[in-house]
């Protein structure tokens, strides 16, 4: 997005998670989140960088993103940067928010969304200490109204665990996410998951693979959903053409912002591939952007966009993101991302602040 800004302010905030979140690649207890404020004409647009604290989900992490934004964002060199989509995506999202505020419209309208006023929500549940703990957690999430349950799996925490969950919750919309913990040599093991009629298996194979996923999909009845592997619209087109997935998880940061997210959405819709909005343990700002994205027509499956209170004792937006008893988030109509920033609280958890180079 090519619009003029006067100033780009970077902030790093620290937010302890209410509960540790464990995936096949690691465990997170505290988030280090970069926020991007794009200023022009007395208005501010806000974005959130969605990378992790370590380069384990993909190659980016908080410190790499800070340097990319500080030294390259908003300069003549930005377009020449390869990769670092989460860093640049934080700025891109801030630009869209700024543009929406300039036009006095909600962000969802600015990006061409608005297909629904209530976003269907699911939850992503990390690897737990025991199957019992997992079953209890699922009970609680279903009682809160969430429409589907995603559980993280890895070798040693997969078929037996899913079997127990299925026995206890035969009717629940259920899926698993491996975060690239398997290889094609595990095909037989992954095929055992077919008997549990899962909605999908998310990213079983390598984070940068498409071709092996196509081989695996041919062997599985369960749809494969790609997350890590889809960074560009070209990847989406190639994955669909090869039959590497039947569903796509779109994450704003992973693909570098709203423009690329919309392109991937359009390609998927045209091919009859359902999409849903993934999450990266975002603060309220990233959450609000995900809500806007989820109003595009192709986001027909419940996403990983859930209530602030699942993650934070206190969120940086007012009001916090809330999920109703039917497992939906009601889209807001204010300008931009639609929530207020709690500046006082934000200030109190900011550990560094810097104006990006121009
Ligand atoms: O693969 O979807 C993922 C969190 C961190 C990194 C990767 C993933 C996740 C989640 C959490 O599943 C989704 C959420 O924010 O609730
Ligand atoms: Mg995932």
What value does the mean pLDDT take over residues 309-320?
Answer: 98
Q: In what order do the strands lie in the sheet with 26-40?
A: 43-48, 26-40, 7-23, 350-355
Three-class SS state of 225 = strand
DSSP E strand boundaries for the chain: 7-23, 26-40, 43-48, 118-120, 122-125, 148-152, 174-177, 201-202, 224-226, 247-250, 275-277, 317-318, 328-330, 340-341, 350-355
Work out the number of other CB atoms within 10 angstroms of the CB of residue 144.
17
Q: How far is the CA of 143 from the centre of ligand 1 (A)?
A: 21
Q: Does residue 233 have a pLDDT over 90? A: yes
pTM above 0.85, yes or no: yes
User: Measuring from atom 13 of ligand 1, which residue has the nearest CA?
Assistant: 279
Please give the structure tokens belonging to residue 224. 């494969």
Q: Considering the chain, what percentage of its residues have pLDDT values greater than 70?
A: 99
Q: How far is the CA of 16 from the centre of ligand 2 (A)?
A: 21
Residues with CB under 6 A from ligand 1: 23, 57, 124, 177, 179, 227, 278-281, 304, 306
Model confidence pLDDT, tens digit, residues 40-86: 999 999 999 999 999 999 999 999 999 999 999 888 899 999 999 99
Strand partners, 318: 340
Peptide bond into 250 cis (omega under 30): no
Q: Which residue has the tokens 């209170």?
A: 309
Q: Does residue 313 have a pLDDT over 90? A: yes
User: Measuring from atom 8 of ligand 1, which residue has the nearest CA?
Assistant: 280
> Which atom of ligand 1 lies at the shortest distance from residue 202's CA?
1
Rounded to the nearest 10 degrees, the angle between the axes of helix 85-103 and helix 62-71 is 60
Model confidence pLDDT, tens digit, residues 88-144: 999 999 999 999 999 999 999 999 999 999 999 999 999 999 999 999 999 999 999
């Amino acid at each position: 997005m090519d619009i003029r800004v006067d100033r780009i302010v970077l902030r790093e905030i620290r937010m302890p998670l209410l509960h540790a979140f464990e995936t096949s690649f690691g465990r997170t207890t505290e988030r280090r989140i970069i926020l991007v404020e794009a200023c022009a004409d007395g208005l501010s647009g806000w974005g959130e960088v969605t990378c992790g604290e370590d380069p384990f989900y993909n190659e980016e992490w908080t410190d790499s993103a800070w340097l990319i934004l500080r030294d390259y964002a908003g300069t003549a060199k930005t377009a020449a940067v390869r990769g670092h989509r989460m860093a640049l995506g934080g700025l891109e999202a801030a630009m869209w928010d700024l543009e929406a505020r300039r036009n006095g419209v909600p962000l969802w309208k600015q990006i061409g969304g608005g297909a629904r006023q209530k976003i269907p929500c699911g939850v992503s549940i990390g690897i737990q200490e025991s199957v019992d703990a997992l079953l209890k957690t699922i009970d609680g999430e279903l009682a809160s109204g969430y429409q589907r349950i995603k559980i993280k799996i890895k070798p040693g925490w997969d078929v037996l665990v899913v079997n127990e969950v299925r026995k206890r919750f035969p009717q629940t919309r259920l899926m698993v996410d491996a975060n690239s913990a398997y290889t094609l040599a595990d095909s037989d093991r992954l095929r055992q998951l077919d008997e549990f009629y899962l909605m999908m298996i998310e990213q079983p194979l390598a984070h940068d693979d498409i071709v092996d996923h196509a081989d695996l999909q041919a062997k599985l009845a369960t749809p494969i959903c790609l997350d890590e592997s889809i960074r560009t619209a070209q990847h989406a087109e190639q994955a669909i053409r090869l039959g590497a997935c039947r569903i796509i998880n779109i994450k704003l940061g992973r693909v570098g912002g709203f423009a690329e997210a919309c392109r991937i959405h359009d390609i998927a819709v045209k091919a009859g591939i359902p999409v849903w909005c993934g999450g990266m343990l975002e603060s309220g700002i990233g959450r609000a952007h995900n809500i806007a994205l989820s109003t595009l027509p192709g986001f027909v499956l419940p996403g990983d966009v859930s209530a602030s209170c699942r993650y934070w004792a206190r969120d940086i937006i007012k009001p916090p993101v809330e999920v109703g008893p039917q497992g939906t988030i009601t889209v807001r109509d204010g300008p931009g991302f639609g929530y207020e920033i709690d500046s006082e609280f934000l200030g109190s958890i900011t550990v560094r602040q810097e104006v990006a180079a121009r």
